[in-house]
């Protein structure tokens, strides 16, 4: 998220420096310094965010980067509020301009002090960046340290843990994939398996790969985990090692001194006359596929490649040939989910009658995701079967892992890979979806308008903001993060939703980064600073209206009583002067207070 906030801020600073340079006056050099320093650390931020969970110092540094970026954005919007207004022509316009110039002298002085303070903070952050870059330098350049590789391996190994729970619903897709792999075509063929993290793609392909009847049809076999941290040289060396291990011979010593091109030719020569099967597990980019594809000879030996990915475009790009096949993984059916859950939780096909109701409610949250069912089943297997209160506690504290065992970390780590892989401009779009209630059907047109109004959509010359926002939505769908629920007759997206576990992750991330806050009937307090407020299912007006000075959006869902003008007036007296989006269509209003129309930055009101 720090990368996203900083990237957005740099664009704002560039616009300010180019369009409002006369208004900046003596602040220009300070604003330029802030922009340059943040620009210099931006390239490091994505890699740092991927590693922050394992490093408390890095975590604290990223928090400071986010906070200084947010504070800078607030100061810039405040500056625009005070000084970038356009006045009418004529006498009234001149009087207004003089009046506001006198009135804003104090504001200019305050903003000047704030920018000086931010400049100092940015300087300290930049100095620490130099130390971290030195510490993580090899990782930043190559992404290939043993620590990172081991972390990736652990996550892949954990996905195979589903096997231990006698995974159900796999026989039919296994048979289908084997039939596609063992057909009569002699050309090289690719079979891709695509779907969101945790669906069991790796487990399915592993069962196919290990099938004895299928395995004997091939002379050479290799399993390569590609992962986000793709390095071609590591992949090719791993492939050579596996091929020689299989024939029980040492790798020729001259291979070690070969460059990537020579090693690629070496692999081609080895495989040229053999019928081989190669699994490429966890492929994240078309570039990775294209690089590996060049190593694979097609000599009409009926060789096969099986590929797993979360990204639909990767699956499609790897299967352009008419013989190739894309298999889309779907969640387990209700019946399959229940069987898997009972097997994992009770080591049988039956659930104790006293637990059946709460068990089904817990299972519903897993939405057919095998990894989630196995993980939550592992937690519940240790609970007292006679004490339904313990089970109810797990149900109500699902996202927060009320049991404290940490066993649900497996799911979060798998799904976080998809979040960490997002380009910075998509992270804000995704995190903003945390405003919606659980199991909410999100209207696509509604969220696109909010993204645009809040500036999450990067502007591009010759393309409308709506078209760019649609591209962002389609990219999140392409990455198996957002689920399409319905389309219009003309094929346009109509409604979408989030898997409960994906929602739990973005809610957690949003809260951790003071990005969104959700006020409910059970919890109506909010932190000192936050950017976006969602109010869910209130039966009474919230009592607290402080901490709104950084607020950019408000959305109300399921307000059971009419929302009074008094409430809205009190809310606006909390000074949300930077508000850009006000969504009140989830509440009935008797009328709209005049203060709403004085919100200078307001872009959308529903």
Q: Are residues 186 and 301 in the same domain?
A: yes
H or E stretch at 191: strand 189-194
Q: Are residues 13 and 106 in the same domain?
A: yes
- pLDDT at residue 112 greater than cutoff 50: yes
Does the residue 469 lie in any domain?
no
Does the residue 473 lie in any domain?
no
Count of domains observed in the chain: 4
The Cα 4–Cα 432 span in angstroms is 12
Q: Are residues 302 and 168 in the same domain?
A: yes
Q: How many helices (H) and strands (E) does the chain have?
A: 25, 13
- pLDDT at residue 165 greater than cutoff 50: no
CA distances to 174, 201, 325 from 180, in Å:
10, 16, 8
CA distances to 159, 171, 341, 363, 471 from 338, in Å:
19, 17, 5, 8, 37
pLDDT higher at 597 or 348: 348
Does the residue 249 lie in any domain?
yes
Which domain-ending residue is among 294, 328, 362? 328
171-190 pLDDT per residue, tens: 899 999 999 999 988 999 99
Does the residue 574 lie in any domain?
yes
- pLDDT at residue 73 greater than cutoff 80: yes
Q: Are residues 203 and 320 in the same domain?
A: yes
- pLDDT at residue 219 greater than cutoff 90: yes
Does the residue 106 lie in any domain?
yes
pLDDT on residue 565: 59
Does the residue 172 lie in any domain?
yes
Q: Answer yes or no: are the C-beta atoms of 70 and 531 closer than 8 Å.
A: yes
What tokens were used for 555? 């959305």
Does the residue 323 lie in any domain?
yes
Q: Which residues pair with 484 in a beta bridge?
A: 496
Find the range with the poorest average confidence among 197-206, 460-469, 509-518, 585-594.
585-594
244-286 pLDDT per residue, tens: 999 999 999 999 999 999 999 999 999 998 999 999 999 999 9
477-494 pLDDT per residue, tens: 999 899 999 999 998 999
Which domain-ending residue is among 356, 382, 412? 412
pLDDT-based confidence at residue 167 (cuts at 50, 70, 90): low
pLDDT on residue 23: 58
H or E stretch at 486: strand 482-487
pLDDT higher at 92 or 365: 365
Q: Are residues 344 and 230 in the same domain?
A: no
Q: Are residues 263 and 364 in the same domain?
A: no
Q: Are residues 176 and 323 in the same domain?
A: yes
Q: Are residues 30 and 115 in the same domain?
A: yes
| HSE-up of residue 210 (Cα within 13 Å, Cβ side) | 8
**pTM across the whole model:** 0.77
Opening angle at CA 485, ends 483 and 488, nearest 5: 125
The Cα 473–Cα 471 span in angstroms is 5
Does the residue 506 lie in any domain?
no
Q: Are residues 14 and 105 in the same domain?
A: yes
Q: Are residues 405 and 552 in the same domain?
A: no
Q: Are residues 166 and 301 in the same domain?
A: yes
Give the domain range for residue 397.
334-412
pLDDT on residue 402: 38
498-556 pLDDT per residue, tens: 988 888 889 888 888 888 888 776 555 666 778 898 888 765 555 566 667 788 898 88
């Amino acid at each position: 998220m720090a990368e996203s906030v900083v990237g957005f801020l740099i664009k704002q600073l560039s616009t300010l420096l180019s369009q409002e340079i006369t208004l900046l006056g003596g602040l220009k050099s300070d604003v330029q310094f802030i922009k340059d320093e943040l620009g210099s650390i931006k390239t490091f931020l994505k890699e740092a965010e991927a590693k922050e969970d394992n490093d408390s110092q890095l975590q604290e540094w990223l928090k400071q980067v986010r906070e200084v970026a947010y504070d800078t954005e607030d100061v810039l919007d405040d500056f625009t509020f005070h000084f970038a207004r356009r006045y009418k022509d004529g006498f009234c316009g001149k009087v207004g301009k003089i009046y506001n110039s006198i009135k804003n002298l104090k504001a200019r002085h305050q903003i000047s002090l704030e920018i000086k303070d931010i400049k100092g903070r940015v300087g300290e952050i930049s100095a620490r960046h130099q130390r971290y870059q030195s510490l993580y330098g090899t990782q930043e350049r190559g992404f290939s340290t043993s620590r990172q590789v081991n972390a990736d391996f652990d996550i892949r190994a954990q996905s195979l843990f589903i096997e231990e729970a006698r995974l159900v619903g796999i026989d039919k897709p296994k048979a289908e994939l084997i039939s596609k792999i063992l057909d009569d075509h002699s050309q090289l063929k690719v079979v891709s398996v695509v779907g969101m993290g945790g669906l069991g793609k790796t487990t399915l392909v592993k069962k196919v790969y290990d099938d004895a009847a299928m395995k004997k049809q091939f002379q050479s076999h290799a399993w390569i985990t590609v992962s986000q941290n793709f390095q071609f040289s590591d992949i090719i060396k791993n492939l050579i090692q596996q091929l020689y291990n299989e024939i029980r011979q040492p790798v020729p010593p001259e291979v070690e001194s070969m460059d990537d091109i020579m090693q690629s030719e070496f692999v081609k020569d080895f495989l040229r006359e053999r019928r081989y099967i190669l699994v490429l597990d966890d492929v994240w980019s078309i570039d990775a596929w294209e690089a590996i594809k060049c190593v694979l000879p097609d000599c009409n030996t009926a060789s096969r490649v099986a590929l797993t990915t979360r990204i639909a475009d990767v699956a499609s790009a790897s299967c352009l040939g008419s013989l190739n096949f894309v298999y889309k993984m779907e969640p387990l059916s209700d019946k399959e989910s229940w069987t898997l859950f009972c097997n994992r939780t009770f080591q049988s096909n039956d659930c104790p009658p006293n637990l059946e109701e709460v068990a089904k409610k817990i299972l519903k949250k897993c939405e057919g995701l095998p990894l989630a069912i196995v993980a939550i089943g592992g937690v519940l297997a240790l609970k007292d079967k006679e004490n339904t209160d313990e089970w109810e506690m797990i149900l109500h504290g699902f996202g927060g892992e009320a049991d404290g065992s940490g066993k649900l970390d497996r799911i979060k780590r798998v799904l976080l890979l998809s979040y960490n892989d997002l380009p910075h401009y998509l992270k804000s779009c995704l995190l903003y979806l945390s405003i919606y209630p659980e199991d909410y059907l999100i209207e696509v047109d509604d969220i696109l308008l909010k993204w645009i109004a809040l500036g999450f959509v990067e502007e591009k010359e010759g393309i409308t903001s709506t078209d760019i926002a649609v591209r962002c939505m389609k990219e999140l769908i392409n990455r198996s993060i957002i689920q399409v629920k319905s389309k219009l007759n003309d094929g346009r997206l109509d409604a979408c939703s989030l898997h409960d576990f994906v929602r739990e992750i973005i809610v957690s991330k949003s809260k951790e980064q003071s990005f969104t806050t959700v006020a409910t009937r059970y919890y109506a307090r909010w932190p000192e600073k936050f950017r976006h407020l969602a109010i869910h299912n209130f039966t009474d007006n919230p009592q607290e209206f402080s901490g709104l000075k950084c607020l950019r959006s408000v959305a109300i869902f399921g307000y059971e009583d009419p929302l009074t003008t008094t409430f809205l007036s009190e809310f606006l007296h909390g000074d949300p002067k930077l508000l850009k989006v006000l969504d009140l269509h989830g509440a009935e209003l008797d009328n709209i207070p005049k203060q709403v129309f004085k919100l200078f930055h307001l872009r959308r009101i529903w």
